[in-house]
Amino acid sequence: MPWEWDGGHLIEIEERAIPWKYDPGEKRKKHKWSKDEAGFLPPSGRNMRGQCPTSITHHPTLAEDLLNDGIPWPPEAKIPEAIYNVYKGVIYRAEETEPGKSYHGFPECEKVPDKVLQELAIRAEKCGYHRQFKKWLKRYLPEGWNRIKCPTLNHD
């Protein structure tokens, strides 16, 4: 279900009439690897490129489901600049590839809006991936971990 902000709270809204299309980025060879885990090349430093796990890259319907269930940012935009989601504790950001139609996603290692980060924390916890989410945040978005206000996530 898509989301929007209402009075400072994230709420589900009816699905878009036309779902976003996932652009697998066939020409983006530098964003693909053979591991079934998310990561970055190089693993740290400047110019890190997100690498999606094969469980997503080999299953475009999963990628499209994650995209259409994602959190658009900014929420008031008809065509969001980015769409965020979490899968197995890893934060993903999708950016527009064809205006108003398609997006390409990748693991996130930059700043995530606070409201989005909070919702992603709740989603990760509901799916049983709070430890993996915490590990991802501490490794790739350390300033983000301090902004989460989810008591059950902060317990370990």
DSSP helix/strand/coil, 113: coil
Please state the pTM of the whole predicted model. Answer: 0.84
Asked if the model's pLDDT at residue 137 lies above 80, the reply is yes
Asked if the model's pLDDT at residue 11 lies above 60, the reply is no
Report d(CA 93, CA 87) in Å as an integer: 11
Task: Find, among 70, 115, 116, 77, the residue nearest to 99 by Cα.
Answer: 77
Q: What is the mean pLDDT of the chain?
A: 84
How much of the chain exceeds pLDDT 70, in percent?
Answer: 80
Residue 105 vs residues 43, 90, 92, 134, 156: alpha-carbon distances, Å = 18, 12, 6, 21, 29
pLDDT tens per residue, range 13-70: 555 566 889 998 877 666 678 999 999 998 888 888 899 999 998 998 999 999 999 9
φ, ψ (nearest 5 deg) of residue 153? -75, -30
Q: Please give the pLDDT value at position 1.
A: 47
pLDDT tens per residue, range 44-60: 888 888 999 999 989 98
Using an 8 Å Cβ cutoff, are 86 and 93 in contact? Answer: no
Q: Write the DSSP assignment of 5-47 as a string of letters.
A: EETTEEEE-PPPSSPPEE---TT-GGG--S-SS-EEESSSSTT
